[in-house]
Amino acid sequence: MRKIWKAEFPGYFLAGALVLMSAAASYAASSIYDFSLPLLDGKPASLADYKGKVVLVVNVASRCGFTPQYSALESTYEKYKDQGFVILGFPANNFANQEPGTNAEIGEFCRSKYSVTFPVYGKISVKGDDQAPLYAYLTKEANPALAGDIKWNFTKFLVDRHGKVVQRFEPATTPDSPQVIGAIEAALKDK
């Protein structure tokens, strides 16, 4: 039997390519582990690296009234990190130009002002036409009960050990509040 070559049936191969592209475009994330973003230093870092951990995802900013929450974020991270907990900071400049710096400036600010040791990713957009896919997932698909646009800096999403979003805390709820600590401790107990 004779082999069929691309040149003889170019439409066949084009149709196959379109099917593959369509399948890729319709792919929906099933957890935060499906995302990879660069850290402040530009190195790519997959959220799959946090499989099995309880994760608090927070959009942060350096010039916000809530910026002092960095202290509570760091102390909460230090308290629970050895139990399988991590905080992931995502700087965003979506609200009143409160994160105008470069990734290098943000990193220096976090280290010098708040001694941040938890992972901080490169600056992204958390809403609007240029919203990062992770935040599109968090605000629309991850948990319909917690869906909705990010209203301001320091919105927090608690993710269980299986990559599922289980709680959302608005900016005024501090990372060391009884609500957040109780939810973290409950998620840590769930193996």
Helix (H) or strand (E) holding 58: strand 54-60
Amino acid at position 34, single letter: D
Q: How many percent of the chain have pLDDT more than 90?
A: 83
Q: Is residue 15 part of a domain?
A: no
- Cβ neighbours of residue 27 closer than 8 Å, sequence gap 6 or more: none
Strands 44-46 and 54-60: what pairing?
A: unpaired
The domain that holds 108 is classified in CATH as 3.40.30.10
pLDDT tens digits for range 116-157: 999 999 999 999 999 999 999 999 999 999 999 999 999 999
Residue 92 pLDDT: 98
Question: 146 and 183 in contact (C-beta within 8 Å)?
Answer: no
Q: Is residue 46 part of a domain?
A: yes
> What's the token pair of residue 191?
């193996």
DSSP secondary structure, 161-188, as one string:
TTS-EEEEE-TTS-TTSHHHHHHHHHHH
**Residue-number span of the structural domain to which 67 is assigned:** 29-189
Give the count of domains, the chain: 1
Catalytic residue among 57, 61, 64, 120: 64
Known catalytic residue: 64? Answer: yes
Residue 169 pLDDT: 98
On average, the pLDDT of the chain sits at 89
pTM tops 0.75: yes
Instruction: Say whether 72 sits in a helix, a strand or coil.
Output: helix
Q: Is residue 14 part of a domain?
A: no
pLDDT tens digits for range 62-95: 999 999 999 999 999 999 999 999 999 999 999 9
Q: Is residue 176 part of a domain?
A: yes
What is the mean predicted confidence (pLDDT) over 41-59? 97
What is the mean predicted confidence (pLDDT) over 10-36? 57
Q: How confident is the model at residue 12 (pLDDT cuts 50, 70, 90)?
A: very low
DSSP annotation of 55 reads: E
DSSP annotation of 8 reads: T
pLDDT at 11 exceeding the cut of 70: no
Residue 28 pLDDT: 73
Q: Is residue 127 part of a domain?
A: yes
Q: Is residue 184 part of a domain?
A: yes
Residue 24 pLDDT: 39
Rounded distance between C-alpha atoms, residue 27 and residue 137, angstroms: 12
Q: How many percent of the chain have pLDDT more than 70?
A: 86
Question: 188 and 79 in contact (C-beta within 8 Å)?
Answer: no
More confident residue, 16 or 133: 133
Give the strands of the sheet with 165-169, arranged side by side: 85-91, 54-60, 156-159, 165-169
